[in-house]
Every structure is written in structure tokens, then in C-alpha cells.
Amino acid sequence: MRDLSSYPAEPFRIKVVEVPKMLDRPEREKAIVEAGYNTFLLNSEDCYIDLLTDSGTTAMSDQQWAGLMVGDEAYGGSKNWYHLKAAVQEYYGFEYVTPTHQGRGAENLLSTLMIEEGQYVPMNMYFTTTRYHQEKNGATFVDVIIDEGHDSTAKDVPFKGNIDIAKLEKLVAEVGAEKIAYICLAVTVNLAGGQPVSMQNMKDVRAFADKHGIKVFSDATRCVENAYFIKKREKGYENKTIKEILKETMSYFDGCTMSGKKDCLVNIGGFLAMNDEDLYNRSRELVVVYEGMPSYGGMAGRDMEAMAIGIKESVDYNYIEHRVEQVAYLADRLLDAGVPIVEPAGGHAVFLDAKRFLPHLTQDDFPAQSLAAALYVEGGVRAMERGIISAGRDKITGDHHRPELELVRLTIPRRVYTYKHMDVIADAVIRLYEKRDEIKGLEFVYEPPMLRFFNARFKIK
């Protein structure tokens, strides 16, 4: 593990505090049973350290809170909308912006507008809601991430989120370019462990797409984290600013979907951005049906103001360095104790490798779900399953999708926890690892037909 002094200090002062509840072990055991061993169904106040997600859990800055007070809640043409649009244009470079209530609203718009029945959407690994919207609109998702993206032990690969161009070529050769709705490139790749994509890979994907007349859209949810990895790992970018890298990143896409609840540093909101005027006009019509007016899209004026400010704050190097390196600190603590995780550590979370953590459980025992539940009982730490439960079932065969990666995501909210909190998390995981043989598998009590990880309930086998 790196010496503690090599990790950057928190680049902020704490102005407001929230006092969490600290349940004792018997209370936590009762709580997880009542939640059906699904950490999504726990009450947030019963979690001492909440690592369920980094989506909407950011601590906003004093400037963002001040921005809330100048919210213009006009139904059309809010001044805060113009501030948000200008921020997206300046930092992301897209001409047109359609606001949405959060990222999946943007996914819905893009999928509805771009997909025709029977088409394919290649992407560097699936994400749950993204794939759902694609399939709901008649497309078939195709995973085109490099093979190393599915290997938690491939620690010497700096950009495990890259798209494999050969896989794209194979797909186009098999189905034809006209059957590709668009290429979706996520930066970073959540379910691979928060893994980044290189700038060179984006250039290669863009060149491939131009050759075949295919559009390329980015899931840009954690694009600032991706920009940081490019600065640290890709030759030629070490002296570029995060803002410059982000702007170049987006220049290789026809548009992007954004969940502002991550790298835009807010608690709600998102957008669909693009350069195609016709697509923009059609999105303006559709957003009225699903979200709200084209000048607020499901957000309050105050939320748009906070996002505009957050976009500017997100490219500050001191902020993003601390954000990513705090994750690295937790990863190093666990690696030093021999705990199996996805390597190298990603930008927003440490992912425990449940297959290697619990080798006595088969994938049909739902090891990641079991491990997430056990971690809550052990330390009051709420995490999230990212394995066979999240992957869902094949809509044709009815069998589980069986991803290579069976993970528990320890997702670090932005500007919320300190290094001491990382120590508490690490100590709980290490204690659990030392008695891992005691952890039992789970089985369904209730299985929802779609996106089952949100509401499923389990019992111990």
C-alpha cells in the first residue's frame, strides 16, 4: 500500500454535518432480514456508511447551495436553464441540450429516437437501465468491450473499458451497418469496475463509425473521472487540463446521455446533448411527453442552477484528484490484506470480486448478493450487488444472464466521507474476509420481472 502521506488531503472544509445512526449488530441482523437480504430495501437511516451508489449522493458546495436560492421556477424559459445550457456547451462542446430529470430519462429519449425494431446497439459492457431502454425499444445489446474488461485480475491494463474494434467489425460484417442503431461508449465503464477508456480508443471508434456511417453516443456519466485517468495514464495528456481533456473526449461523439447525479455534482438531473439539429428537435417534442418542458425537463430551476455550477466545479483538478485517489486508498487497504477486488481500481468505487471472495458458493447461490448483505451485518456498511442478480434473465431462454464478473460495489459518494471512513469500511471487509467460509448463499423469495435487483427479496438457502 502507498504511504498515507502520498494520498491528497480533502480539498474542502466541512461546513455542515449529518449525524448518522449506528445500529448494533442484532439490530442490523433484524434490518437485513426485514429487507429480504436486499440492500436496496434497507432504510437509509439504518446505514452507518452508505455506499449503495454515488448517484445523487454528492455533498454540494456552498456555491451550489447559494445557487439554489436564485432558482427561477418559470414553466418556460427559466434563466437557470440558459445557465445550464451554456455550461454544457462550454465544457462538453455540444450545440444542443435537452434537460431530463436524470440519466435514465436521457437514455429513454435516445433509445426511443434512435432505435428501430431489430437493430443492434454495441456497447462496452452493459449497464442495467441503458440495456433495458435499448431492448424495450426493440434493439439487441451486444457487448464489444475488450476481453480484459471481464477479468478482475488484469491489473496491468490501464484502459480496461476500451471497445474492441475487431468485435465491432465482426458485428457489422454479420448484420450490416444499417442494422446498427448507434454505438454506445461509456466513460467510464461502471460494471467493469469503473474502468476508463483511452482517448486513442475513442478516436479509433470514431474512425470506424465514420467509415460505416454509424452514429456514436457516449454514456458520459463519469466522464470527468475518465478524463482524470487519461491525464494520469495516457501519453501526451499529462500536461492537459481536465477541462481540455473532457472537451476533446466529447468531440469524438455525436452526442451523450448524462446523469448529472454523478460527475455534475448534484442530487438530481441529467441531459441529452447532441450536435444534430433534427435529433434535437425530435427530442424537444418527446421530452414534453416523458419529462417536462424543453427548458426544464423534469428539473426545478434551482436544480439546473446547481448543475451548472457543479459542471464547472467538477473539472477542478484538486477535486477530481482527491475523488479518484480516495477510491484508490480504499482499494490499496484491501489489497494489502489480500482481499480480492477488481484491479486496477476504478474511479467511483472499489469492486469486491465475490467469486474469489466466496469460492464455496456457486453463481446460482448469488454470492455477490450474499456478500453485500453480510457486509451490512458486519459493519453497517451498505453496498450493492453487481453480478448475476443485476444481469437479469435472457428474455428468450428465461435463464439467468451469467456475467463473468460477480461483484459487490463499494461506491464512494463525492465529498461525503473522509479517509477514516475508508478505514472503517476496509476493516469491516477484512474482518468479513477472514471468516468468509461462514457466509451462506441466497435464493429468491420474490423476483421482479425486470430490473430485479431493485426490488427482489431473498432468504438464506
Active site residues: 75, 127-128, 219, 262, 386, 453
Cell numbers at residue 70, please? 436564485
Shortest CA distance to 298 belongs to which of 250, 352, 261? 261
183-186 and 216-219 as β-strands: parallel, antiparallel, unpaired?
A: parallel
- Cell triple for residue 156? 496491468
Helix axes 165-175, 199-212, angle to 10 degrees: 20
List alpha helices for 256-366, DSSP H. 277-290, 301-314, 317-336, 354-357
Q: Percent helix, strand and coil across the chain, each rounded to 5?
A: 45, 15, 40
Buried b (16+ CB within 10 A) or exposed e, 200-228: ebbebbbebbeeeebbbbbbbbbbbbbbb
Place of cell 437511516: 45
Q: Please state, in angstroms and rounded to a whole number, the distance separating the CA atoms of residues 460 and 365.
A: 9
Measured in residues, the chain has a length of: 461
The amino acid at residue 90 is E
Determine how β-strand 96-100 pairs with β-strand 457-460.
unpaired
Contact in structure between 210 and 204 (CB atoms under 8 Å): no
What CA–CA distance (Å, rounded) separates 237 from 269?
A: 30
Of residues 310, 301, 253, the one with CA closest to residue 110: 253
Strands 270-274 and 349-353, by their bridges, are unpaired
Q: Which long-range contacts (C-beta less than 8 Å, at least 24 apart) are formed by 387-392?
A: 387/354, 387/363, 388/363, 388/364, 389/452, 389/453, 389/456, 390/128, 390/191, 390/453, 391/126, 392/128, 392/450, 392/451, 392/452
Contact (Cβ atoms closer than 8 angstroms) between residue 437 and residue 360: yes
Tell me the H-state helices in 198-276. 199-212, 223-233, 242-251
